[in-house]
A and B are shown apart, each in its own frame.
Chain A
């Protein structure tokens, strides 16, 4: 059992600026939770607060119901993997992994057993006598993970553990981390700025901005039902397209009227009519996923707008087409065999039922 609960957690430095503001998160036993956000959003600080490396200014941090705010890191029963590995350069792989166990006065046989077991899981048995400087980045990262595993902690903390690896190794290690989580059945908290890592690894994801939790939910919920404009724009590649406008009533039909009034989209039968009714006359922002936009060279019954292709990116399996609608940059994700060229005039359309609407003032999703 290892349940981590953050209750009204806040962090302020001397100058009075709150880097973490009233964070409430409940992490269930054996859950893999990812903290994600742009740099400077406080995700690493939050992780370090859970680790005990940063003081908690306000609120309660509970581990299995016990308040651990004032416990030093060593008494928290947590292990942490650092971005730059933080292996002890003067110790061998074995000693690096055994260090924490030795300090806990564990019998030598038990230490050996645990270290060798972890080395086996991570496939680093043949490196056991090497020093960190004689290993590659990927190998060092494994040792760093091994050092956490041998401790058999209640909670694993990962601070951007993959960001120093190259793209290929990153993908591999991501899969191995998932496997590891299944094998170890331990609570894991993982910090990253990479939303793909967050989406693929997390059972649930905490999206942070300037020390505030924007949304805490499953990856699919974040993608399909973003709580606000920030989450909508942050989660998903390519990012969501946005178009500002307002809700108006035209000939007794509720419509979305774009800011420059070039688009009037009736909301009848889109599933949005009910929720947007109260927004009549108010400013809203419409969000569209790139894959929900269709682009064609001929006019179709879905066509809503005519524009010019500005950039085409051929990714092999898909094509990304960039154009503008009312001077707003849009990107559409199309199938890989779509033939498009720079400068072509295209007919753009979408199913309004798939659109997301946000209050322009509060930036909250309208549902």
Chain B
């Protein structure tokens, strides 16, 4: 009994310490600038002003649409390309299959910062700076999704593929109509991991996008917060940060169960 109480107290304490900064952020964003010094749970001098300021100073709605467009499109492409490459590596026979696979795995060990400059130069040469292409194309294939798809496809019986071939299905139909529905948890994992990664990405957009109307939310919020346009008002910065977090929080509420599974299986990546 005592043990149970102790256990729960510890867990509650831990949960509170994680949730407190977020709650404080929410309440701070709804408080007046002068009362920000107090670390309270409820807003002091309740006001929407911070949000009004954010929306008047920066095109946050436009940035939201940009972010959504980039994240949705790229995630879709990651699923398509990952499934196709993963299937080829798992189920087709061709020369150099293993070498290609190990090369793809090798790229996972390279920190993003190392490829940052070469990638940027490529974007410049292609003339994609300040376009959505720069935000989408470099991320349209990722090694984690290839790896996860490959493992999932390998776990399915060959007879399923054989049966589909005899039924008259081509390789694409086999991938997307016969196999994918049977590895749905993997698809969801990849979707969540990819989407979150893209949504939170701030560094790459900061490098390739300078035109405000093409900026993504994290980029815009970062620029706004540190670029001086918030005029040192902490409350306004916090309100922008809340706006940035809300979509992911909403997504989390919808896919809570899968989120946890995705996180558990993401031990492969940072």
Contact = CB atoms under 8 A, between A and B. Distances in A.
From A79, A84, A86, A87, residue with most partner B Cβ within 10 Å: A86
Nearest to B173: A103
Interface string A148-177: 000100000000000000000000000000
> Per DSSP, are chain B's interface residues mostly helix, strand or loop, or mixed?
helix
A72 B165 contact: yes
A82 B162 CA distance: 9
Contact of B178 (A72, A74, A88): A88
A51 B162 CA distance: 9
B160 interface: yes
Contacts of A85: 159
A185 interface: no
A82 B166 CA distance: 11
Nearest to B184: A90
A82 B159 contact: yes
A2 to B, nearest CB: 16
B262 to A, nearest CB: 21
A74 B157 contact: no
B181 A90 contact: yes
Contacts of B167: 74, 99-100, 103, 147, 151
Contacts of A80: 162-163, 166
Contacts of B160: 86, 88
Interface in A60-107: 72-74, 78-80, 82-90, 99-100, 103-104
Interface string A275-293: 0000000000000000000
Interface in A298-338: none
Contact of A51 (B166, B168, B182): B166
B176 to A, nearest CB: 12
Contact of B157 (A78, A86, A104): A86
Interface of B: 157, 159-160, 162-169, 173, 178, 181-182
Interface string A198-242: 000000000000000000000000000000000000000000000
B169 A84 contact: no
A121 interface: no
B159 A84 contact: yes
B165 A73 contact: yes
A86 B162 contact: yes
Nearest to B165: A73
Nearest to A98: B167
From B162, B165, B181, B182, residue with most partner A Cβ within 10 Å: B162
A85 B163 CA distance: 9
From A80, A87, A88, A147, residue with most partner B Cβ within 10 Å: A88
A1 interface: no
A82 B163 contact: yes
Given A80-B162, A90-B182, A151-B167, 19 more contacts: A51-B162, A53-B162, A73-B165, A73-B166, A74-B165, A74-B167, A74-B168, A79-B166, A80-B163, A82-B163, A83-B159, A86-B159, A88-B163, A88-B164, A99-B167, A100-B166, A103-B173, A104-B168, A147-B167
B92 to A, nearest CB: 13
B159 A100 contact: no
A153 to B, nearest CB: 9
Contacts of A74: 165-169
A70 B181 CA distance: 30
A301 to B, nearest CB: 58
A103 B169 contact: yes
Contacts of A73: 162, 165-166
A74 B167 CA distance: 6
B164 to A, nearest CB: 8
B168 A86 contact: no
Shortest 4 CB-CB distances between A and B: which pairs?
A: A100-B167, A86-B159, A74-B168, A90-B181
B157 A103 contact: no
Contacts of A78: 166
23 contacts: A48-B162, A52-B165, A53-B162, A53-B166, A72-B165, A73-B162, A73-B165, A74-B165, A74-B168, A74-B169, A82-B159, A86-B157, A86-B162, A88-B164, A89-B182, A90-B182, A99-B167, A100-B166, A103-B168, A103-B169, A104-B168, A147-B163, A147-B167
From B157, B160, B163, B178, residue with most partner A Cβ within 10 Å: B163
